[in-house]
Chains A and B, each alone.
Chain A
Amino acid sequence: MPTATQAERTTILRHTLLVRVTHWITFLAFIALLVTGIEILISHPRFYWGEVGNVNTHPIFTFHIPSSRDTVPTGYGYVLPDQNGWSRYLHFEAAWVLVLTGLVYVGWSVFSGHLRRNLFPSREERSLGAYARRIGQYLRRTGSTGDELHRYNVLQRSSYMVVIFVLFPLIIWTGLAMSPSFTSTFPLTSSLLGGRQSARTLHLFVTIALVLFLVVHVTMVALSGFRARMRAMITGKAELPAEVASKELP
Chain B
Amino acid sequence: MNAISRRKLLYTGAAAITGAAGLAAAARLVRRYGLIPPDHGGLYGPGETLTYACQRILTAHRPVHEFPRSMISKQPFMNEIGKLPDAFKDSQALNFSDWRLTVDGLVDHPLALSVSDLRALGTRSQITEVACEEGWSYIAEWIGTPLPAVLKEAGLKPEARFLAYFSVQPEWWDSLDLADARHPQTFLAWGMNDGDLPVGFGGPLRMRVPRQLGYKSVKFITRITATDSMKQYGKGLGSASPEGGYAWYAGI
Contacts and interface: CB of A to CB of B under 8 A. Distances in A.
Interface of A: 40-41, 43-44, 46, 51-57, 69-71, 84-86, 88-90, 92-97, 178-185, 187, 191, 196-197, 200
B134 A55 contact: no
Contacts of B51: 92, 96
B251 A180 contact: yes
B75 A181 contact: no
B138 A54 contact: yes
Closest A-B pairs by Cβ, 7 of them = A93-B47, A85-B245, A181-B251, A89-B44, A54-B77, A54-B136, A44-B135
Interface string B53-64: 001001100111
18 contacts: A40-B134, A40-B135, A44-B136, A51-B67, A52-B129, A52-B138, A54-B73, A55-B136, A88-B247, A89-B245, A92-B48, A96-B47, A178-B131, A180-B211, A180-B213, A182-B251, A185-B62, A200-B135
A53 B137 contact: yes
B159 interface: no
A56 B134 contact: no
Contacts, number: 128
Contacts of B88: none
Given A55-B77, A184-B62, A93 B46 contact: yes
A85 B246 contact: yes
A52 B134 contact: no
Contacts of B73: 52, 54, 56-57
B226 interface: no
B246 A84 contact: yes
Given A51-B71, A84-B246, A185-B58, A180 B47 contact: no
Interface in B26-65: 43-44, 46-48, 50-51, 55, 58-59, 62-65
B139 interface: yes
B252 A184 contact: no
B75 A182 contact: no
Which of A55, A88, A184, A200 has the largest count of B CB atoms less than 10 A from its CB? A184
Contacts of A92: 47-48, 51, 252
A179 B251 contact: yes
Nearest to B59: A185
A55 to B, nearest CB: 6
Interface in B139-185: 139
Which of A46, A70, A182 has the largest count of B CB atoms less than 10 A from its CB? A182
B108 interface: no
A186 to B, nearest CB: 8
A200 B129 CA distance: 15
Nearest to A187: B65
A56 B77 contact: yes
A187 B46 CA distance: 27
B232 interface: no
A76 B213 CA distance: 28
B80 interface: yes
A241 B59 CA distance: 57
A55 B80 CA distance: 13
A223 B185 CA distance: 57
